[in-house]
Amino acid sequence: MSTDATTDRPRSAADRLVRQLLLVEDAAPRSIVTLKGSLVLTAVRCILMYAVIPLLAPVVGWLGVIARPLSLAMSVAAMGLAIYSLRRVWLADWRYRWAYTGFIAAVVALLVVVIVFDVRALVT
């Protein structure tokens, strides 16, 4: 195991690999406070996608035309925010970063499925 220059703490090969993939490598630990903003945006996206749009779709007929592109745009934005929040967690060197990484991996996988369905619906 090698050590991180900023903490003098040994890091596993997996830790070093993820830090390299997320471009945090030897960055000094930072605050995790900015993570709250991306979580709020993700919550707003979920409320819009799964509560507001389905409730308003029958009332506003034209919403059906923009629902798929809106869903696609919001899913791509949510994926970007999820990866950004994951990067912040790793920059903060949070002790539960591996659990959060698993959670974000599941979220990204689900978003990929949603994006594939949206793209298929737009193309056909």
Number of domains forming the structure of the chain:
1
Instruction: Decide if 15 is inside a domain.
Output: no
Residue 3 is assigned to a structural domain of this protein: no
The whole-number pLDDT of residue 65 equals 75
Task: Report the distance separating Cα 121 and Cα 28, nearest Å.
Answer: 44
Residue 53 lies in a domain: yes
Per the structure, the complete domain to which residue 35 belongs is given by: 31-123
Q: Is residue 20 part of a domain?
A: no
Q: Which stretches of the chain drop beneath a pLDDT of 70?
A: 1-8, 27-39, 41-42, 53, 57-64
For the stretch 33-59, pLDDT in tens is 555 666 676 677 778 777 776 777 666
Does residue 89 form part of some domain? Answer: yes
Residue 13 placed within a domain: no
